[in-house]
Amino acid sequence: MLIVALLFLSFLSYIYWTRFQEILTLQGKIEDLKGKIARLKEDNRSLEAKLTRRNDLSYIKKLAQERLGLQLPKEKVKEEDGGENGP
């Protein structure tokens, strides 16, 4: 009877230990995922800020002037005249 009880306790200990290891592994994965979620939320905030800025007309004008070399007609005339306001 003692041998059966020891075998039963050994079996329960084995089950408990494997479950404990699984719990520790899953807790590590949960922490990794929480970190990933935090990084993704920060990326999302950054992208939302960029999106808001892209809808700003002054920012669009600045990009058009800097990246594409576009100018408003009044600015183009002033530049061609050498910066003078007229004859």
71-85 pLDDT tens trace:
878 766 566 666 555
* Domain layout of the chain by residue ranges: 2-80
Torsion sign (Cα): 65, 70, 75, 78: positive
pLDDT in tens, 6-36: 999 999 999 999 999 999 999 999 999 999 9
